A and B are shown apart, each in its own frame.
Chain A
Amino acid sequence: MEKEFSAQLTRKLLRYLVPFAIIVILIAWIGVPMAYCFLWSAVDPDYPWSYPDPLPQKLSLFHWRYILENTNILGAVGSSFFIAGCTTILSFLLALPTSYALGRRQLKGAGFFKTLMLLPLVLPGMAMAIFLGRMLMKMGLSGTYTGVILAHTLMGVPYMMRILVVSFESVPQDLVDAASNLGATAFTRFAEVYFPMVLPGLVAGSIFTFINSMEEFNLTFIIGLPTVKTIPTVLFSYLGESFARTRASVVSLILLIPNLTLLLITERFIKTEYMGAALGKM
Chain B
Amino acid sequence: MAEGLSLKNITKRFGNFTALNHVSFDIKPGEFVTLLGPSGCGKTTLLRIIAGFLEPDEGEVWFGDQKMNDVPPHKRNTAMCFQSYALFPHKTVYENIRFGLRMRKVPASQHRALVEEAMAMVNLTGLENRKPYELSGGQQQRVALARSVVVRPNILLFDEPLSNLDAKLREKVRVEIRDLQRKLGITAIYVTHDQSEALAISDTIISMNQGAIIQKSDPRTIYDRPVSKFIADFIGTANLVPCTVTRQQGSLFQVQSPYGMLLAEDKDFPHDSGEYYLCIRPEDVRPVLDGEPAGEDNILEGVVKNSIYMGNTLDLFARVQTEPLRASVWKDYHIEEGTRIRFAVPRSKIRILEG
Is B133 an interface position by the 8 A CB rule?
yes
Residue-wise, chain A 250-282 has the 8 Å CB interface mask toward B (1 for contact) of: 000000000000000000000001101100011
Alpha-carbon distance between A235 and B100 when the two chains are bound, in angstroms? 56
Pick the 4 closest A-B CB pairs, nearest first: A183-B103, A182-B100, A178-B86, A174-B86
Is B147 an interface position by the 8 A CB rule?
yes
Do B103 and A281 touch (CB < 8 A)?
Answer: no
Do B104 and A183 touch (CB < 8 A)?
Answer: yes
A sample of 12 more A-B contacts (CB under 8 A), given A174-B82, A177-B80, A182-B79, is A174-B83, A175-B86, A177-B73, A177-B82, A178-B86, A181-B51, A181-B78, A185-B74, A196-B90, A274-B90, A282-B85, A282-B140
Q: Across the two chains, which residue of chain A brings its CB closest to B90?
A: A196
Is A179 an interface position by the 8 A CB rule?
yes
Q: Which chain A residues lie closer than 8 Å to B104 at the CB level?
A: 182-183
**Interface of chain A, main secondary structure:** helix
Nearest Cβ on chain A to B205's Cβ, whole angstroms? 24
**Which among B53, B72, B83, B133 is the interface contact of A282 at CB below 8 angstroms?**
B133
Alpha-carbon distance between A266 and B196 when the two chains are bound, in angstroms? 51
Q: Across the two chains, which residue of chain A brings its CB closest to B73?
A: A180
Do A178 and B80 touch (CB < 8 A)?
Answer: yes
Is B131 an interface position by the 8 A CB rule?
yes
Do B99 and A179 touch (CB < 8 A)?
Answer: yes
Q: Across the two chains, which residue of chain B brings its CB closest to A188?
A: B103
Q: Which chain B residues lie closer than 8 Å to A273 at the CB level?
A: 89-90, 131, 133
Alpha-carbon distance between A192 and B103 when the two chains are bound, in angstroms? 11
Nearest Cβ on chain A to B128's Cβ, whole angstroms? 17
Is B212 an interface position by the 8 A CB rule?
no
Is B84 an interface position by the 8 A CB rule?
yes
Is B132 an interface position by the 8 A CB rule?
yes
Q: Which chain A residues lie closer than 8 Å to B89 at the CB level?
A: 197, 273, 276-277, 281-282
Do B84 and A182 touch (CB < 8 A)?
Answer: no
From known contacts A174-B86, A273-B131, A274-B90, infer whether A183 and B80 are also in contact, taking CB-CB under 8 Å: no
Alpha-carbon distance between A179 and B53 when the two chains are bound, in angstroms? 11
Is B118 an interface position by the 8 A CB rule?
no
Alpha-carbon distance between A183 and B147 when the two chains are bound, in angstroms? 12
Instruction: Give chain B's interface residues, CB within 8 Å of chain A.
Output: 51, 53, 72-75, 78-80, 82-90, 99-100, 103-104, 131-133, 140, 147, 151, 157
From known contacts A183-B103, A273-B131, infer whether A193 and B88 are also in contact, taking CB-CB under 8 Å: yes
Q: Which chain B residues lie closer than 8 Å to A196 at the CB level?
A: 90
Q: Which chain A residues lie closer than 8 Å to B103 at the CB level?
A: 179, 182-184, 188
Q: Can you show 5 pairs from A to B with CB atoms below 8 A apart?
A: A174-B82, A182-B99, A197-B90, A282-B84, A282-B89
Alpha-carbon distance between A113 and B78 when the two chains are bound, in angstroms? 38
Chain A residues within 8 Å of chain B by Cβ, number: 23
Nearest Cβ on chain B to A187's Cβ, whole angstroms? 11
Q: Across the two chains, which residue of chain B brings its CB closest to A272?
A: B90
Do A281 and B133 touch (CB < 8 A)?
Answer: yes
Alpha-carbon distance between A183 and B76 when the two chains are bound, in angstroms? 8
Is A125 an interface position by the 8 A CB rule?
no
Alpha-carbon distance between A180 and B79 when the two chains are bound, in angstroms? 10
Q: Which chain B residues lie closer than 8 Å to A281 at the CB level?
A: 89, 133
Nearest Cβ on chain A to B129's Cβ, whole angstroms? 13
Is A78 an interface position by the 8 A CB rule?
no
Alpha-carbon distance between A281 and B104 when the two chains are bound, in angstroms? 28
Is A48 an interface position by the 8 A CB rule?
no
Alpha-carbon distance between A32 and B199 when the two chains are bound, in angstroms? 72
Is A172 an interface position by the 8 A CB rule?
yes
Q: Across the two chains, which residue of chain A brings its CB closest to B140?
A: A282
Alpha-carbon distance between A188 and B133 when the two chains are bound, in angstroms? 23
Q: Which chain B residues lie closer than 8 Å to A181 at the CB level?
A: 51, 53, 73-74, 78-80, 157
Do A276 and B133 touch (CB < 8 A)?
Answer: yes
Nearest Cβ on chain B to A226's Cβ, whole angstroms? 48
**Which among B85, B87, B100, B132 is the interface contact of A183 at CB below 8 angstroms?**
B100
Q: Which chain A residues lie closer than 8 Å to B157 at the CB level?
A: 181
Q: Which chain B residues lie closer than 8 Å to A282 at the CB level?
A: 84-85, 87, 89, 132-133, 140
**Which among A182, A184, A276, A277 is the interface contact of B147 at CB below 8 angstroms?**
A182
- The interface centre, meaning the residue of B53, B80, B90, B157 with most chain A CB atoms within 10 A of its CB, is B90
For window 144-181 of A, CB contacts with B under 8 Å fall at 172, 174-175, 177-181
Do B72 and A180 touch (CB < 8 A)?
Answer: yes
From known contacts A181-B73, A182-B99, A182-B147, infer whether A175 and B88 are also in contact, taking CB-CB under 8 Å: yes
Q: Across the two chains, which residue of chain A brings its CB closest to B106?
A: A183
Q: Across the two chains, which residue of chain B brings its CB closest to A273?
A: B131
From known contacts A182-B147, A184-B74, A185-B74, infer whether A177 and B84 are also in contact, taking CB-CB under 8 Å: no
Q: Across the two chains, which residue of chain A brings its CB closest to B85?
A: A282
Do A180 and B74 touch (CB < 8 A)?
Answer: yes
Nearest Cβ on chain B to A106's Cβ, whole angstroms? 12
Nearest Cβ on chain A to B94's Cβ, whole angstroms? 15
Q: Across the two chains, which residue of chain B brings its CB closest to A182?
A: B100
Do B84 and A172 touch (CB < 8 A)?
Answer: yes
Q: Across the two chains, which residue of chain B brings its CB closest to A195?
A: B90
For window 93-108 of A, CB contacts with B under 8 Å fall at none
Alpha-carbon distance between A282 and B84 when the two chains are bound, in angstroms? 9
Nearest Cβ on chain B to A181's Cβ, whole angstroms? 5
